[in-house]
Structure 1
Amino acid sequence: MSGFEWDTAADQRFTVNLSILFTELPLLERPAAAAEAGFTAVELWWPWVDSPTPERSELDALRKAVEDAGVRLTGLNFYAGRLPGPDRGALSVPGEESERVRANVDVAAEFARSLGCGALNALYGNRVEGVDPAEQDALALQNLVLAARAADRIGAILLIEALNEPESPRYPLVSAPAAVAVADRVNEATGLGNARFLMDLYHLSMNGEDLPRVIERYAARTGHVQIADNPGRGAPGTGSLPLADLLGRLRKAGYDGPVGLEYKPGDRPSAEAFDWLPRAARAAR
């Protein structure tokens, strides 16, 4: 794909998000499909959108699918409601949703531990009409502290992600500084220092942020990176984002962690949406 110059990103470690790619397949077939496409690492949103505490048999089946495919799970979201859909996490949502988050924390952490996953992503949650934002922020901090402690118990980091305002107008963390500030508050509250920024270049570009400046300021605070092109949230080269340059800047700034492919495959099978990335480069090192 001519829109992406591979040589500037040749030593990145790519991981495939199986909640946005390979979704034409049943969940349990996706890890093997990613492996067939040449990838050795995958990540997931919480797969059970209606259940923060699925049956043990469901957890075991997904674990076996990942293990049998020979891929590593490098990132997992805590329960976040209906994704894709109207929800944007549940940490700050009072009532039943917050209770579901708390019920999920140890389940998600144990599942991550069983597969050696070192990063857990906690989506903040939408603003709720009629609820004081300060009340929601206090609730979110309580739940994030629980999540950070659970992540620490399994030797993982906790990720805090900024989304984009056009697509998530009720989500309060729509800039890099806002997400990093929440990570700072969590670290201050726990003393663990394991809350990190999830730098999603697509979301930040949709917010109109200066991406080279974001990389310069926050690369050292970043625990995970995700990419998609803009406009369209497609594969690198389908839009106008200079992703090769941005990945090169991240590498030069010292970021050597995974880069998650969290883009839409378009009107083709997911296995055909990686033509920008040489097969030999798809194995995470």
Structure 2
Amino acid sequence: MTYTVNCSIILTELPLLERPAAVKAAGYDAVEFWWPFSEAVPSDGEVDAFVNAVQDADVQLTGLNFFAGNMGGGDRGLVSWVGREDEFADNIDVVVGIGERLGTKAFNALYGNRLEGVDPQAQDDLAVKNLAAAGRAVAKIGGIVLLEPVSGMDTYPLKTAADALAIIERVKDEEGVDNVKLLADYYHLAVNGDDVPAVIAAHAADFGHIQIADAPGRGEPGTGDLPLDDWIADARAGGYAGVIGLEYKPTQADPFAWTRA
């Protein structure tokens, strides 16, 4: 299992529940999703339909995001969102339930944007508490929580690997929770101006997950100028043994043609 296909950004021309089967038909056996529901706590029927779609397709759900708010409206997570603590806590229970049913081990917690009129320190302190709670919960099913630098949102405070690692270190030091790991999305790191080779050299063995897209444009590998193959190889050499998440915006009818070239 080398690649896992992010079905929230690839195959979007299909209804969401049809995408796992389309991934399998394309020759891949692993998928990941952003939060696939409109609410933090969907109905039992919605959860069952999602779980069944993954199981019926005979693919492995390798990764799932926690609820991140209204992504289309610009939200980027509840982890640091003062005032929505109960919503995040309730979502943790649903995430763990899905993970337990599908054997999922990696869960991406988007940090959240800076809030106008709220002390950034208060947001960061809440984030440490929420990440620790999530880490403890997913540890019960052998899971890890992923924390990701993100590009494209000025109000999202984690832009470099160092930004995320500083929070991860706080979670470990202050809460004693050590299963929060860096999600190294090479596209986001590169677009934000981070030194990706240096990040790989220093931290590859501790990456919780890698995702890829090319830049500029966030298309599939080969549409931009990032040395993605080299960066993946360097991470492997540095100790990363996990799957590679395909999280790009396809530019052609066959979104996986580059893997067969």
Same fold? TM cut 0.5: yes
Asked if the contact 1:145–1:189 (Cα under 8 Å) also holds between the matched residues in 2, the reply is: no
Aligned to 1:229: 214
1:246-283 C-alpha deviation (Å, 9 max, x unpaired): 111111111110110000013x44xx01111139xxxx
2:140 to 130, 153, 170: 153
Matched, 1:94 2:79: no
CA distance in 2, matches of 1:100, 1:265: 33
How many pairs align? 261
> Partner of 2:69: helix, strand, or coil?
coil
Matched to 1:176, the amino acid is A
CA distance in 2, matches of 1:106, 1:44: 17
How far apart are residue 101 of structure 1 and its match? 1.2
Matched, 1:204 2:189: yes
Matched, 1:278 2:253: no
Aligned to 2:100: 113
2:156 to 171, 177, 186: 171
Matched, 1:65 2:53: yes
CA distance in 2, matches of 1:176, 1:85: 25
Aligned to 2:238: 253
Matched to 2:190, the amino acid is S
Which runs of no fewer than 5 residues in structure 1 stay unpaired?
1-11, 280-285
Aligned to 1:283: none
Which runs of no fewer than 5 residues in structure 2 stay unpaired?
none
CA distance in 2, matches of 1:188, 1:34: 40
Matched, 1:25 2:14: yes
Asked if the contact 1:152–1:192 (Cα under 8 Å) also holds between the matched residues in 2, the reply is: no
CA distance in 2, matches of 1:220, 1:84: 33
Percent identity, aligned pairs only, is: 51
Matched, 1:185 2:173: no
1:141-168 C-alpha deviation (Å, 9 max, x unpaired): 111111111111111011111112xx11
Root-mean-square deviation (Å): 1.3
Matched, 1:195 2:180: yes
TM (norm. structure 2) is 0.97
> Partner of 1:277: helix, strand, or coil?
helix
CA distance in 2, matches of 1:54, 1:234: 31
Q: Which runs of 4+ in 1 moved over 3 A?
A: none
CA distance in 2, matches of 1:155, 1:134: 31
> Partner of 2:258: helix, strand, or coil?
coil
CA distance in 1, matches of 2:22, 2:72: 21
1:225-260 C-alpha deviation (Å, 9 max, x unpaired): 000000000000000101111111111111110110
Aligned to 1:43: 32
Matched to 1:25, the amino acid is L
CA distance in 1, matches of 2:106, 2:11: 21
CA distance in 2, matches of 1:163, 1:254: 24
1:70-110 C-alpha deviation (Å, 9 max, x unpaired): 00000011110123440111111112x33221110111111
CA distance in 1, matches of 2:176, 2:123: 22
TM (norm. structure 1) is 0.89
Asked if the contact 1:149–1:190 (Cα under 8 Å) also holds between the matched residues in 2, the reply is: no
